[in-house]
Structure 1
Amino acid sequence: MPAVSATTAAREILVRLHDVMASRTNAQAKLNQVTQIIGEALHSEVCSIYLLRDGVLELYATRGLKQEAVHVTKLQLGEGLTGTIAEKNETLNLAEATSHPDFVHNPETGEELFHSFAGVPIVRAERAVGVLTVQHVDQRRYDEVEIEALQTVAMVLAELIAGAGLIDETQGPGSGGARDTASVRLTGLKLVDGMGQGRAVFHQPRVIVEHTVAEDTEVERHRVYSAFDKMRDQIDKMMSQADFGVAGEHQDILATYKMFAYDEGWRTRINAAIDSGLTAEAAIERVQQRTRMRMREIDDPLLADRMHDLEDLSNRLLRIVSGQLGTAAQLGLRQDSILIARNLGPAELLEYDRRRLKGVILQEGSLTAHVVIVARAMGIPVLGRVRDARRVIGEGDFVLLNAGEGHAVARPTSAIEEVFENRLSQTQKLRAEYAAMRDLPPISTDGHRLTLMVNAGLRDDVAALDTTGADGIGLFRTEFEFLVSAELPKRERQQRVYRDVLDTAGDKPVIFRTVDVGGDKTLPYMSNDAIEEENPAMGWRAIRLALERDALMKAQASALVEAASGRILQVMFPMISEPWEFDEARELFEKQRARAAARGKQPPLTIRYGAMLEVPALAEVLDILLPKLDFLSIGTNDLTQFLFAADRAHPKLAERFDWLSPAILRFIARVVRACDDAGVPVGVCGEMGGRSLEAMALIGVGLDRLSITPAAIGPVKAMIRSLDVAELRETMRALLARPPANMRTALAEWALAHDVRIA
């Protein structure tokens, strides 16, 4: 194919397809003509169209394969290359088709003559209803412009086959059929803790694009520009009315969201799709489909979340341009509701009446999603990764949501409702009990005073010091400011955040962890330095990245030094593997302290330096490092996966390796002994310390300081106040010397026998 733009290639094909679609011939004749047009335009010997019929992909038309295979060759979803495209709803582009592991030979088609293969899904209402493929005798990958042209044509084909009644409506969500009334339990990922109940409300029906080929591109362009203006006005108004009561990082997220709304690059891509001959709706959908495909290829959750924001805006723009503005938020919630959505953008969540919105269930979503940060600020529980939510739950169904335990029940029986109500009542009583303990110190029954601190990452999180009575912030994650920004945050902006945190904390200590980015937390403005990593958790991240990109760390050090003017500044460096890394990081901070003093700025009263022990290798050189440290923090999340060589995000490994394994407890006990001998305070910050049984074990191996989530303070404090620390430590020494077959069971039985409160 000659070197032309994707816009020109698609336009040439669409001009010819317009006449085909307008003709009075039957659907089969039209599809036959389509394969000829595409094959000729792409100089490809083969062009074939497969349609999903009765749950099976049927070869419906072809140019280049044997005609006797039409309506005879049939493939299951996931069978062969074509079945894989339909099942995964993704594009394939292969120089040699037989090299792909999913290749299946269909001898009746005569396809053995052809080597190269490319295929794109024909998508309708977010599901593949067919596949468009091209093949070539020569071994070559199709050019990007050819693939984009195929994807654009596939949109038009979706309209053609829908109009001809050829789409299989018996498969997939929303296909109709008898309404299920049985109770059903759905599981997912806890995104925002909490419980709620209400009637299921669907956030929005998908806008089905009915007309794809434009009659007048200038008219379509004007419609898009007008929709952009209206969308931006809506977002500006929404942001000006958003009221969280206090400032916080959620405001920065919304600013990033607004930045996307005003992104000219996005509008340019839609414009180019209109130039190719698509209507305004089809152009938006075309760009949106490309975004979805990119989302499936992105491993970095933060970048994927940015793509979700763009998807949210695309949905908003599509509704405006099509005149279908009726989201559940705009229509208004009439009763207590549980919102069901594939995904949500932060601005869309803000449109809902939070008095009646009792919870959110997402088919997608991640812990780092922007909407999750906003939902947490609004106090709305969120359950994510509920794959079948929109298929299994019906509009108006009564739903019980327990995000904390990772499940929801639709159409519950009276017995299930009673259990839920009891659990909700019990949870509220426990909350009240923990709240009443706020001012009580974490002192054990034998008079041992422990230190309970909270982990934080947002300015709003600092308020937990008052609500929980925690002793301070043992880990303030500073990277969020970097992750939600479109560019490297200015020193002044960072300084403002750190000063706010210190001011809010008052006389309680705050330990700032220096920026931990890189790996799976890629910064978009550092993408030129990014390299593809097979295991990003053990890659170019944290202190490794910060020391190499020292401008980033110098700006942060300067901001922290000036923010802590006249106060004690505590900083710790993440992922230290060897003592020289700590030395370099400390020297960098000291230079910024000297620089601030030289400029007449009042420096901190003192700077206390710490390191995080997450890399097991550091335990072997503690004798070198400890004399230089003011404190050490053990990061159990990364440490556990490094010790076991087990990715904690891997679904098959997440529950396989127990935090209460003797290997972990022995390792931590050895580190604690080394710190005690050197007179260096040591603590734990991580999920392990936030679970009452695990926290008990950590205290048992000698730890006196835990930094945990705010929600865990109450249960862990209650456990400590029922515990005899001296007796526990004597028991732990015996258990670690001769570990039982199941350490978790042994510790649970000991706690039960000694009336230790384990939540």
Structure 2
Amino acid sequence: MLGPSASSAREILTGLHEVMASRSGAQAKLNKVVKIIADAMRSEVCSIYLLRDGVLELYATVGLNQNAVHVTKLAMGEGLVGTIARDVSVLNLDEATSHPEFAYRPETGEELYHSFAGVPIVRRERAIGVLAVQHAEPRRYDDVEIEALQTVAMVLAELIANAGLADRASAAAEAAREVSSARLMGLKLVLGMARGIAVFHQPRILIEHTVAEDIEAERHRVYSAFRKMREQIDAMTSAPEFGTAGEHQEILETYKMFAYDEGWSRRINEAIDSGLTAEAAIERVQQRTRMRMREIDDPLLQERMHDLDDLANRLLRIVSGRLGTAAQMGLQQDTILVARNLGPAELLEYDRRRLKGVILEEGSLTAHVTIVARAMGVPMIGRVRAVRQMINEGDELLLDGDEGVVHVRPSAPTSGAFDAKLLARQKQRAEFAAFKSLPSITKDGERLTIAMNAGLRDDVEALETTGADAIGLFRTEFQFLVSATLPRREAQQRLYKAVLDAADDKLVVFRTLDIGGDKALPYLRSDDDEENPAMGWRALRLSLDRSALMKTQARALLEAGAGREIYIMFPMVSEPWEFDAAKALVEEQREWLIARKKLTPHKINYGAMLEVPALAETLDLLLPKIDFLSIGTNDLTQFLFAADRSHPKLAERYDWLSPAILRFIRRVVRLAREHGVPVAACGEMGGRPLEAMALVGLGIRRLSITPAAVGPVKAMVRSLDRSALLAHMEALLAKPPDDMRAALADWADENRVAIG
């Protein structure tokens, strides 16, 4: 049996257009619609379910028992229809009863039918109904048939809305939305605190007409909109503010690549061919993109799809002539922006004087928009569930990015507590700023090094603002994570040189690529799926296997450091031979440059990261070969305890101040000292004053931490008697107390150590 062609899909739309233009009542129109679709798709059943008072009601059908109309009802998430509406997704089954969510409704008479295909009817990004077809013969519907159903569902959304059949419960929910205060939790993306009025980004355009009168006219409108959009993106990427070398430029270049993607414009043209207006065609392709985003687990690929979604919103505004986003209308007061998600270019359009914070329904730590927000200094939290249901336009919001919390319509006590915390935070920052120019010297005169971690060119500016002694860890993979394609050697070299120039005379430790596994790149993939990516094909393992990748990076580092002393560190070294192989690759590139009379660094210091516990057992073999050692506390902790720290049930179970961790680090420090190799601690552990105090008590003299932690940790160091702490730590580790954290906190309190 043949499914409908693209032309027959257009015939369905033509038939629907006539139905919509008729004077019939809503029920009569839908009765005609299901017959038109069933005839065109040669399907024995076609049904429309509408979301009414919070449940999905069978509203019209051909093929099922007519007595079931307005009788059969399914809750959101119940049965196949409820699953489609809840997930805003497509189901295509050759045997409906095989699906785990199948729910039999005897009054429908559907036991005669095996195959099932259903698509959501979407309005304002939410499902307001489901369109389903069924057939007695077990078979999966062809892709072209599913495409036709989705296109028809878009037109149905217009018919349903115009007929006033949209869920009455949703209107009631809008009216009944709580006016009392609410506290919403989210993912901490960019730290900071902010107060402002809720403003919705509002990138979506409500499409009024879906069926085209003149296809060529619609095509011309899309071509014109594409030209205008590309001009806007070209102007943005060439603007002096965003045209400088660094991550902003690379992000916007990725954005530009999507704007010129011919595949995207071709799909929109195909949707117009089916009979849709320009706006509906863009929306149709965008809906497909959103459904794909829900199916993608890879956050990097999701981010690429979000960039495309962002551009689709821009194109939709242009073609409709309605350019009124919150950014383009201008912010009138201090604002907390609320959005499902944002593209980097959209965020950059906002007035930074008025934009105080951002709340996203989605978002991730590695998203392009997060990187841009961090560079702008705008606090941001993401993955806030039901944010657009809980927040009204114009609500007062208190955003605490440090805690990942937003207070909606705060009560007077909550507002007062927030202001007190904000004042204390500002006062504390002022106090930390006073330490900026002071050395990290303990009360008993020991000089420690408080370095900062970085990964972007803009991060280097924090050296000046925080008073950090150095960049103890520059994560070179960040450049790869924000790029749509593998960064060329020249781009890598420019970044590394810019970082060295900006750091001036302060030391910078470049860590070679730590990608793969849980930081997979879409353009650099393994053929095998990994069950435990954090312990898989990543970091130095990947770089040694893909030697061309490492050789390119090595040359970029050597060229950037020409005439200087540079520091190169290899991540996730498990055995000494891996360090030897990595160093040999770098030295091979150095000799290649020298042979061509190229200037190279006058000295290269080689280091290794100890994250894999196995390396501790062969440190006596490795230490004579290296210039410095860095303990990566984040990975080391999860490897020692066999516990994924990102797992919600395990994240708080294993404490950094566990005797097992502390004794392990002490052993490493002692062995390194015997070989005269300086050892540093990198990661979140060193960025917390109490944990940092414990590390100092183990003999650590160098910490590399997040820039925001430099002030608090430096304050702790300057209030500390190191010799007294060393003796106390020895006593504690000889006979560990039941609660090591409490014991250390008590000692800090007794000795007036500033741990906050």
Shorter-chain TM-score bucket reads: over 0.9
Most deviating of 105-114 and 347-356: 105-114
Structure 1 residue 2 corresponds to structure 2 residue 2? yes
| CA deviation map 1:700-752 (0-9, x unaligned) | 23322110011100000111111222322333333334333332222222221
Deviations 1:325-377 (A, max 9, x none): 11122111222222222222121122222112222222221111212222222
Q: 1:231 to 1:112 in 2, by over 3 A?
A: same
Match of 2:299 among 298, 301, 306: 301
In the TM superposition, residue 598 of structure 1 has moved relative to its aligned partner by: 0.6
**C-alpha separation between the residues in 2 aligned to 1:170 and 1:291?**
28
Partners in 2 of 1:244 and 1:278 — Cα distance? 37
TM-score (norm 1): 0.94
Q: 1:246 Cα shift? A: 6.7
Structure 1 residues 538 and 81: CA distance shift in structure 2, 3 A: farther
- Deviation, 1:165, is 1.5
Distance verdict in 2 for CA 1:17–1:540, change over 3 Å:
farther
SS of residue matched to 2:170: coil
Once the two structures are overlaid, the 10-residue window that deviates more, 298-307 or 431-440, is: 298-307
Partner of 2:378: 380
| Post-superposition offset of 1:13 | 3.2
Q: 2:697 aligns with which of 690, 697, 700?
A: 700
- The answer to whether the aligner puts 1:616 opposite 2:613 as a matched pair is yes
Out of 434, 437, 445, the residue aligned to residue 436 of structure 1 is: 434
Measured in 2, the distance between the counterparts of 1:514 and 1:321 equals 45
State the distance in 1 between where 2:266 and 2:532 align: 35
Structure 1 counterpart of 2:121, one-letter code? I
Task: Tell me which moved more, 662-671 or 281-290.
Answer: 662-671
Identify if the C-alpha distance between structure 1 residues 245 and 312 changes in structure 2 by more than 3 Å, giving closer, same or farther: closer
Range 191-200 or range 278-287, more displaced: 191-200
Higher mean alpha-carbon deviation, 372-381 vs 558-567, is at 372-381
SS at match of 1:171: helix
What is the CA distance between 1:169 and its match in structure 2? 3.7
Residue 464 in structure 1 maps to residue 462 in structure 2: yes
Name the counterpart of 2:229: 231
The amino acid that maps onto 1:149 is A
| 1:35/1:63 contact within 8 Å kept | yes
**Alpha carbons of structure 1 residues 281 and 339: separation in structure 2 relative to 1, 3 Å:** same
| Match of residue 82 from structure 2 | 83
Give the superposition deviation at 1:180. 4.1
Please state how far the C-alpha of 1:320 moved relative to its aligned partner.
1.5
Secondary structure, counterpart of 1:177 in structure 2: helix
For 2:705 and 2:520, the matched residues in 1 are separated by 25
Counterpart in 2 of 1:345?
343
Could you state the TM-score of these two structures normalised by the residue count of structure 2? Answer: 0.95
Alignment of 1:192-341 (within 5 A): 192-204=190-202, 206-241=204-239, 243=241, 247-341=245-339
Q: Partner of 2:142 in structure 1? A: 143
Query: Partner of 2:677 in structure 1?
Result: 680
Amino acid at match of 1:452: I
CA distance in 2, matches of 1:396, 1:743: 47
Aligned to 1:115: 114
**Cα distance change on mapping 1:274 and 1:507 into 2, 3 Å:** same
* Displacement after TM superposition at 1:3 (Å): 7.3
Structure 1 CA distance for aligned equivalents of residues 265 and 607 of structure 2: 47
Q: Quick check: 1:9–1:145 contact (8 Å CA) kept in 2?
A: no
Mapped to 1, the partners of 2:358 and 2:265 lie a distance apart of: 30
Is residue 646 of structure 2 the alignment partner of residue 649 of structure 1?
A: yes
Q: Does the CA contact (< 8 Å) of 2:192 and 2:401 recur in 1?
A: yes
Q: Which of 622, 625, 642 is the matching residue for 2:622?
A: 625
1:69 aligns with 2:55: no
Q: CA deviation at 1:597?
A: 0.5
Map of 1:551 onto structure 2? 548
Residue range with higher mean Cα deviation, 84-93 or 14-23:
14-23
Contact kept, 8 Å, 2:37 with 2:46, in 1: the verdict is yes
Worse-matched range after superposition: 218-227 or 515-524:
515-524
Where does 1:482-497 land on structure 2 (aligned, <5 Å)?
482-497=480-495
Instruction: Decide which moves more: 600-609 or 638-647.
Output: 638-647
Is the Cα contact below 8 Å between 1:579 and 1:624 reproduced in 2? yes
Q: Are residues 113 and 754 of structure 1, via their aligned partners in 2, closer, same or farther at CA, if it must alter by over 3 Å?
A: farther
**Where do residues 25-36 of structure 1 align in structure 2 (5 Å cutoff)?**
25-36=24-35
CA distance in 2, matches of 1:675, 1:42: 74
Q: Structure 1 pair 650/135, CA: closer, same or farther in 2 (3 Å)?
A: farther
In 2, Cα distance between equivalents of 1:376 and 1:707: 19
Of 12-21 and 351-360, more deviation after overlay is shown by 12-21
Checking the alignment, whether the CA contact within 8 Å between 2:4 and 2:145 is kept in structure 1 is no
Question: Which amino acid is the alignment partner of residue 69 of structure 2?
Answer: V
Q: Residue 586 of structure 1 aligns to which amino acid in structure 2?
A: K
- Counterpart secondary structure, 1:170: helix
Distance between the aligned counterparts of 2:50 and 2:734, measured in 1? 65
Amino acid at match of 1:353: D
Contact (CA 8 Å) 2:122, 2:157: kept in 1 or not?
yes
CA distance in 2, matches of 1:199, 1:279: 36
Q: Would the aligned equivalents of 2:195 and 2:399 in 1 still touch at CA under 8 Å?
A: yes
The alpha carbon displacement at 1:179 in A equals 6.1
CA distance in 1, matches of 2:168, 2:203: 17
Instruction: Report how many aligned residue pairs link the two structures.
Output: 756
Matched, 1:606 2:620: no
- Closer/same/farther in 2, CA of residues 271 and 633 from structure 1, 3 Å limit: same
Q: What letter corresponds to residue 294 of structure 1 in structure 2?
A: R
Q: Which amino acid aligns with 1:382?
A: M
What SS class does the counterpart of residue 128 from structure 1 fall into? strand
Which range moves more in the overlay, 42-51 or 438-447? 42-51
When residues 110 and 670 of structure 1 are mapped into structure 2, their CA distance, relative to the original with a 3 A threshold, is farther
Change (3 A) 1:735 1:310: same
Distance 1:101 1:179 in 2: 34
Deviates more, 1:153-162 or 1:729-738: 729-738
Q: Distance between the aligned counterparts of 1:391 and 1:82, measured in 2?
A: 23
* Residue 496 of structure 1: how far off its partner (Å): 1.2
Q: CA RMSD in A?
A: 2.3
**1:751 alignment partner AA:** A
How far did 1:453 drift?
0.8
Matched ranges for 1:524-673 at <5 A: 524-526=522-524, 529=526, 531-673=528-670
Q: Distance in 2 between matches of 1:82 and 1:225?
A: 37
Instruction: Kindly indicate whether the alpha-carbon contact (under 8 Å) linking 2:453 and 2:473 is maintained by their aligned counterparts in 1.
Output: yes
Q: Distance in 1 between matches of 2:188 and 2:723?
A: 36
Amino acid at match of 1:164: A
